[in-house]
A and B are shown apart, each in its own frame.
Chain A
Amino acid sequence: MSDITDAAAAPRPAAAPGEVLLDVKDLKKHFPLTQGIVFKRTVGHVRAVDGVNLTLRRGETLGLVGESGCGKSTVSKLLVALEKPTSGQILYKGDDVAKMGGRALKQYRREVQIIFQDPYASLNPRMTVGDIVAEGWSVHADIAPRKGRLQRTQELMERVGLNPDFVNRYPHQFSGGQRQRIGIARALALQPEIIVCDEPVSALDVSVQAQVVNLLEDLQDDFGLSYLFIAHDLSVVRHISDRVAVMYLGSVVEEGTDAQVYTAASHPYTQALLSSVPVHEPHLRGLKERILLEGDVPSPANPPSGCRFRTRCWKAQDICATEAPALVDRGQGHPSACHFAEARTVVPTEA
């Protein structure tokens, strides 16, 4: 917090577009649905991720929002190679991750790290904080020589706002926010290029969320990190992201800069999503247009034909049931996967 200066308090300038680090092309992950215990047969597939395209550039933050079951967490697992894609490609600096083996995959895993949502489940309860943070150096021994590891661990702890004297404590002795800092230190230890943040603040108390968000922003500035920031909280995503992608039922329905997506939402789902978020400022209450969606999200095991959102969409026409809309710019200024995409201001802009 000592580095809060006047410069940092001003809105951060939009980062100049760097090289493309991660290029995700038509990524799919289908989980088989099986019946029977001894004789398993496949009775269908859950299309958790069904054709996702994303790009992440150096130094930028890409926000990925969506509701539960939209596949955003599966995307994060695919990106850190914890799951293998059913089809499609993840290109990291031009190389296909699925074709990486041995040393290349190990190097990829060093450079692409992950922070989990649940700070209680993501730390081994039987390891000390020091061991947790330093574990990556046992796997990638070239980063830190054995001798100075304790000192480097303590430096890292200090950098993420933890008391370095607590190096021998266990995770259960820390609060939720502090544990999330431990998880960040563990990811940071490997000097990654990209950190996939899978709902990193949604399990934290409101007053602690902002601490962790600020920490992530500071670390990005200091180390030139790129983030894929996955969350369901639209306000947090807008705050931290340079670009935002909105997911619905396994695919991206709208993508653009934070201003494009939040002030000129053009996909009906994005509009409904934004209109549902309760605002916390009394003077903005009631100013927002309310779009109440009917029904529930369809099962990803049996998604609707054509446009996935058509079953809940007030704009749906015959074409929506037969033809899946491509994620392209139809004149609204940024890509949107709707045949009838039309920019609309849902969120009242701050006067």
Chain B
Amino acid sequence: MSDQQQADLRKDEVEAGTTTGLASPSVDPASDRQNSLWSDAWKQLRRNVLFWIGAVLGLLFLLMALFPGVFSRGVDPRDCSLSRSGQAPSSEHWFGFDQQGCDYLANVVHGARNSLIIGLLAVVVILLMGVVVGALSGFFGGWIDSLLSRVADIFYALPLILGALVVLRSGFLGRGVVAVAIALAAFGWMTAMRLVRSQVIAVKSSDYVAAARAMGASNGRILVRHILPNAVAPVLVYATITIGVLIAAEATLTFLGVGLQRPAISWGLQIDAGQRLLRIAPHLVLFPSLILTMTVMAFVMMGDALRDALDPRQRS
């Protein structure tokens, strides 16, 4: 072979990366800084329509929780008049009135705060417990793993709703927003823990962790740089979806009469009150259920998009 041909072949070899057809449009080869998993994931998220729908809805409900007055068109949810009891929606009062004759739009809007606080608070607790307990269990193994796994099994024996129901009925946490969140988290962390644990175990034995260890990386570095990014992504996705489930669980608990109590305002309370009047005033169940479903959907959509974005192999 001539020198020129050698040079050509070498060039082909270098360029072969482009002919494998897997070039990711989200990666700009000319950029002068190095990308990280998170910046690339964000670039990917930005281009996902489902994520934006979820994010806009989520933001909407968040604003609703923070500034309910803006969304309720200035109406006080406790400004009631029995004369308007159960009136159907009108152009003046979009969601109609409830049994007490309070403006239902204002009530549904004010319900967002409690529902979101419970959902987010519970999920943060679940995430913390799941990642910490799961990572300890998976990374160190041995008796630590045996002990923590058995503890998780014990909690698994009680279903989420039943467990929370028992704790709230016992009354030692009280019946406030924080109490409901903690009761839900206490019986909801095990799946997150198992997810993290199994991921950590799988990643721990991979060759790239061995390579990092062989170059002298510390346990902390291996956990933070290699194991957690590969183990936490599925849990983050699980967490986003769980927010929705937890909000629904709060509504269920309230509906069962052990969650929040009047005069607190929440979607669960509204659905509970409304179901007794389902035939006369179906809008009393319809509107809070609709908003609840949309909230759950928003978080599920964001979770789905996040899963795809955090896996470079999913990017097309």
Please tell me if the beta carbons of B36 and A163 are within 8 angstroms of each other in the complex.
no
The residue in chain A whose Cβ has the minimal distance to the Cβ of B312 is A170
Please tell me if the beta carbons of B215 and A172 are within 8 angstroms of each other in the complex.
no
Within 8 Å by CB of A4, from B6, B22, B233, B310, lies B6
Complex alpha-carbon distance, A175 and B218, angstroms = 30
Complex alpha-carbon distance, A346 and B215, angstroms = 41
Please tell me if the beta carbons of A150 and B34 are within 8 angstroms of each other in the complex.
yes
Cβ of B37 under 8 Å from chain A: yes
Please tell me if the beta carbons of B217 and A168 are within 8 angstroms of each other in the complex.
no
The residue in chain B whose Cβ has the minimal distance to the Cβ of A132 is B208
Within 8 Å by CB of B211, from A4, A114, A126, A170, lies A114
Cβ of A255 under 8 Å from chain B: no
Proximity string of chain A (112-143) to chain B, C-beta cutoff 8 Å, 1 when within and 0 when not: 11101010011111111011101110111000
Please tell me if the beta carbons of B211 and A186 are within 8 angstroms of each other in the complex.
yes
Please tell me if the beta carbons of A163 and B20 are within 8 angstroms of each other in the complex.
no
Complex alpha-carbon distance, A163 and B15, angstroms = 7
Known contacts A80-B214, A128-B34; A169 and B17 CB within 8 A of each other: yes
Please tell me if the beta carbons of A128 and B35 are within 8 angstroms of each other in the complex.
yes
- A interface residues (Cβ-Cβ under 8 A, vs B): 1-2, 4, 38, 77, 80-82, 105-106, 109-110, 112-114, 116, 118, 121-128, 130-132, 134-136, 138-140, 150, 161-163, 165-170, 172-175, 178, 183, 186, 190, 211
Within 8 Å by CB of A173, from B24, B30, B35, B146, lies B24
How many Å from the CB of A78 to the closest CB on chain B?
12
Q: Is the interface of B mostly helix, strand, loop or mixed?
A: helix
Known contacts A1-B9, A2-B6, A131-B34; A170 and B213 CB within 8 A of each other: no
Within 8 Å by CB of B216, from A124, A140, A173, A186, lies A140
Cβ of B206 under 8 Å from chain A: yes
How many Å from the CB of B192 to the closest CB on chain A?
19
- Which one of A77, A80, A124, A161 has the highest number of Cβ atoms from chain B below 10 Å of its Cβ? A124
Cβ of B47 under 8 Å from chain A: no
Complex alpha-carbon distance, A157 and B225, angstroms = 22
Within B226-275, the residues touching A (CB, 8 Å) are 226, 229-230, 233
Complex alpha-carbon distance, A124 and B22, angstroms = 18
Please tell me if the beta carbons of A168 and B211 are within 8 angstroms of each other in the complex.
no
Cβ of B31 under 8 Å from chain A: yes
How many Å from the CB of A126 to the closest CB on chain B?
5
Within 8 Å by CB of A121, from B9, B208, B221, B311, lies B208
- Which one of B15, B20, B33, B208 has the highest number of Cβ atoms from chain A below 10 Å of its Cβ? B208
Within 8 Å by CB of B226, from A116, A124, A172, lies A124
Complex alpha-carbon distance, A168 and B37, angstroms = 10
Within 8 Å by CB of B10, from A1, A77, A132, A135, lies A1
Total contacting residues, chain B, CB less than 8 A = 49
Complex alpha-carbon distance, A127 and B311, angstroms = 10
Cβ of B74 under 8 Å from chain A: no
Complex alpha-carbon distance, A183 and B35, angstroms = 19
Known contacts A135-B225, A211-B13; A124 and B208 CB within 8 A of each other: yes
Q: Could you say which residues of chain A place their CB within 8 Å of the CB of B32?
A: 150
A-B contact pairs, 11 of them (CB 8 A): A4-B6, A112-B214, A114-B210, A114-B214, A121-B207, A126-B311, A128-B35, A130-B34, A139-B217, A163-B15, A183-B211
Please tell me if the beta carbons of A172 and B22 are within 8 angstroms of each other in the complex.
yes
- Which one of B211, B217, B311 has the highest number of Cβ atoms from chain A below 10 Å of its Cβ? B211
Q: Could you say which residues of chain B place their CB within 8 Å of the CB of A169?
A: 17, 23-24, 27, 29
The residue in chain B whose Cβ has the minimal distance to the Cβ of A130 is B34
Within 8 Å by CB of B36, from A114, A128, A161, A178, lies A128
How many Å from the CB of A6 to the closest CB on chain B?
12
Complex alpha-carbon distance, A190 and B214, angstroms = 11
Please tell me if the beta carbons of B216 and A109 are within 8 angstroms of each other in the complex.
yes
Please tell me if the beta carbons of A122 and B207 are within 8 angstroms of each other in the complex.
yes
Complex alpha-carbon distance, A139 and B37, angstroms = 19
Within 8 Å by CB of B312, from A125, A136, A163, A167, lies A125
Cβ of B212 under 8 Å from chain A: yes
Within 8 Å by CB of A81, from B15, B24, B33, B214, lies B214
